[in-house]
Structure 1
Amino acid sequence: MLVWLYWIAGLTLTTYLSASLVRRFPEVGLQALVAFYVIYLAASQILAVRIVRFELGFYTLHAPAAVFLYPFIAQAIDMINEAYGYRKAQWSILIAFLTQVLLVIFILLVNSLKPAPFFKYEEAWQRIFAQGVRITAASWASFLICQSLDARVFAWLKRRYEEKVWLRSMGSDVLNLTLDSVLFVTFAFWGVAPVGPLVLGQVVSKNIIGLLDTPWFLWYKRMLRPVGLRREVYGGQAQ
């Protein structure tokens, strides 16, 4: 129960701050959304190491703890797309990807240093942060493919069904979260672990949590509407 309180509090706070900044200070709002996007990604890379259990009552799933952050990631790129358009969303994805490359480089840099003789947690540190090349490559590939597809589908749905905010939010997120689960697990664990159960656990848990964040995105959109900003600033032109 406590995890859901943290999740709701975090999503509520970031949604309110994002909408407030976009509404009052459009340029700062974009910077804030990209910053949130980057920190969500960095946190998910670290938290994905811990595998947790999801009790659904009739079935038990196992998935990385980072599944709680994936909806934040999907929502952040949707917020950018909604307010600033497809091109800004694409640039944000590229910037975020480069920060993840830097994160891995920094971790490798630190791991190359010799630990102090009194540092007792070196083995645990190496286990957590010494990601294999295959897993890292799988993460990067699935991120670029799925986030780019999410942005494109969101923009297309907005052009086609502009008033159906829930449709572009849910439609793009379900596609993104499902495909990301399939691609990442397949790339990372094919031949070394049972892919089917891992894919199932991620797809179900990600989409359940991902769909739960839809009301916050609708709230974000509603907070933007009363403000008479120029359409090209936050009208989300799908360029």
Structure 2
Amino acid sequence: MPVVWMYWAAALTLVTLASAYVVRRFGQYGFAALTSFYTIYLGASQILAARIVRFDLGFYSFFAPAAVLIYPFVAQAVDMINEVYGRKKAHLAIAIAFATQVLLVAFILMVNSLPPAPFFGYEDAWRNIFGLGVRITVASWISFLVCQNVDAYIFSWLKRRCERKVWLRSVTSDVLDLTLDSAIFVTLAFYGVMPIGPLIIGQIATKNFVGFIDTPWFLWYRKLVSSLA
């Protein structure tokens, strides 16, 4: 289990350094770079959500989609854009990312409409992972649009009122984003199919735990953006 956190920390460190460097040294390309990272995170989370994994904290273990490790990256990317380029650019990045997800689904549906080669022995596995359910897809889109835009608005609102409290706007906006995302998605996707209470609680706890511990990297990003020459 510690290995996954090493990968997670290394990835977050690398992308924080890269983001700050591009924003500070090549400001005109910073928004494009951050939006690219953002869309990659989002696409990865959509794919990784298909795998349910076991998290063992030593004193407690639970099961959750592997994508919970990526969701805080998504929320933080919006904060990075908002911090430097403002709320309008953050909303633009959200719209761009949403368009890429629609395209991703369209491409998957396009490929799924083709018959498999007779020697392709993994069709059932492919369908299990990429056989998109309409309800789950729509639930994912709605929760994304609502929660990411709420994140952008709350972050911007707190920035205007608490300029120096960088940690406050980062943590508050991410907690609201990740909590709402869990509640909206699980309710829309699984209500009436399975008990949603435990699913919502598990996702809220997991996402916010990971989202909280990534706060130092955002503070570091803010410092790097301000100090890099």
Does TM, normalized by the shorter one, top 0.5?
yes
- Which residue does the alignment assign to 1:100? 101
- Which residue does the alignment assign to 2:188? 187
2: distance between equivalents of 1:154 and 1:70?
17
Provide the TM-score with structure 2 as the length reference: 0.97
Q: Is the 8 Å Cα contact of residues 62 and 198 (structure 1) preserved in structure 2?
A: no
Query: Is the partner of 1:17 in helix, strand or coil?
Result: helix
Q: Is the 8 Å Cα contact of residues 45 and 66 (structure 1) preserved in structure 2?
A: yes
- Match status 1:2 vs 2:7: no
Q: Deviations over 1:3-31 (max 9, x none)?
A: 10110010000000000000000121111
Query: Is the partner of 2:163 in helix, strand or coil?
Result: coil
- Match status 1:70 vs 2:71: yes
Q: Deviations over 1:108-147 (max 9, x none)?
A: 0001111111110000000100120000000000000000
- Match status 1:56 vs 2:53: no
Q: Deviations over 1:71-108 (max 9, x none)?
A: 10000000000010000000000000010000000000
Report matched runs for 1:122-141 at 5 Å: 122-141=123-142
* Deviation (angstroms), 1:227: 5.5
Q: Is the 8 Å Cα contact of residues 115 and 122 (structure 1) preserved in structure 2?
A: yes
Provide the TM-score with structure 1 as the length reference: 0.93
- Which residue does the alignment assign to 2:90? 89
* Deviation (angstroms), 1:63: 1.3
Q: Deviations over 1:190-226 (max 9, x none)?
A: 0111201111110000000000110000000001113
Q: Deviations over 1:57-82 (max 9, x none)?
A: 44332211000000100000000000
Query: Is the partner of 2:29 in helix, strand or coil?
Result: helix
2: distance between equivalents of 1:162 and 1:67?
29
- Which residue does the alignment assign to 1:153? 154
1: distance between equivalents of 2:34 and 2:180?
23
RMSD: 1.0
- Which residue does the alignment assign to 2:18? 17
Give the letter for the 2:42 counterpart: L
1: distance between equivalents of 2:29 and 2:55?
38
2: distance between equivalents of 1:154 and 1:28?
22
Q: Is the 8 Å Cα contact of residues 21 and 228 (structure 2) preserved in structure 1?
A: no
Segments of 4+ moved more than 6 angstroms: none
2: distance between equivalents of 1:141 and 1:71?
18
Q: Tell me the percent identity.
A: 64
Give the letter for the 1:104 counterpart: V
Structure 2 gaps of 5+ residues are none
2: distance between equivalents of 1:34 and 1:17?
13
Q: Which has the higher contact order (CA 8 A, sep 6+)?
A: 1
